[in-house]
Amino acid sequence: MNDVETGRTDDATLEPLRSVHTTSFPELLAQLGASVLVTTYQAGKLVLLRNDGGVLNTHFRNLVKPMGLAVEGGRLAVGCSVDIWEFHNVPAVCRQLDESPDYPTSAARHDACFLPRRSHCTGDVQIHEMTWVDDELVFVNTAFSCLAKRSDANSFEPIWRPRLFSTWPPAITATSMV
């Protein structure tokens, strides 16, 4: 990906990300056998928080205004400014990471490695919440006040909207959403 796709700017112009956590947070993650994913559209980051031998380890990935997030099985979807990125777990890469000198401790073993596999252009629909329903990604399309799914023919396909919004604005129809 280039800087336009990732939303990166000159690092000298960005404020450094700062965070704090309770001392028990890494232990809690270890007990649960879990990691936590966080999106922050203000900083343009997807943040992975995980326990690494009793210490909180963080990984940051640059994306353009990430907001919505959905994880199911070996898939991770992130709703961004004008698109949805889909990542798939590629277990074979875990072994390569574990053997890398960048990860010298045995506590830093990787159980998953999500790589980008698909990007779908939605336009600026302000995706917030997302979930997988019957193998289909469904997301809150805030700009059009509806629930929607990805569409090969259009930017998205509305699948539900509140009765309060019984019609689309005159300039917008389901067939013009490209």
Q: What is the CA radius of gyration of the chain?
A: 19
CA dihedral 152, 154, 155, 161 (to 10 degrees): -110
The Cα 64–Cα 35 span in angstroms is: 22
What confidence score (pLDDT) does residue 57 get? 87
For the stretch 103-145, pLDDT in tens is 666 555 778 889 999 999 999 999 989 999 999 999 999 999 9
Q: Are strands 136-141 and 45-52 parallel, antiparallel or unpaired?
A: unpaired
Give the model's confidence band at 47: pLDDT under 50 very low, under 70 low, under 90 confident, else very high. very high
Sign of CA dihedral 114, 81, 137, 33: positive
Contacts with 89 (C-beta within 8 Å, 6 or more apart), sequence order: 73, 74, 75, 76, 112, 113, 114
Amino acid at 112: A
Average pLDDT over residues 15-44: 90
Residue 28: which H helix or E strand, with range? helix 25-32
pLDDT (tens digit, 9 = 90+) per residue, 10-28? 555 667 777 788 889 999 9
Quick: pLDDT tens for 50-102.
988 889 988 899 999 999 999 999 999 999 999 999 999 998 888 788 777 77
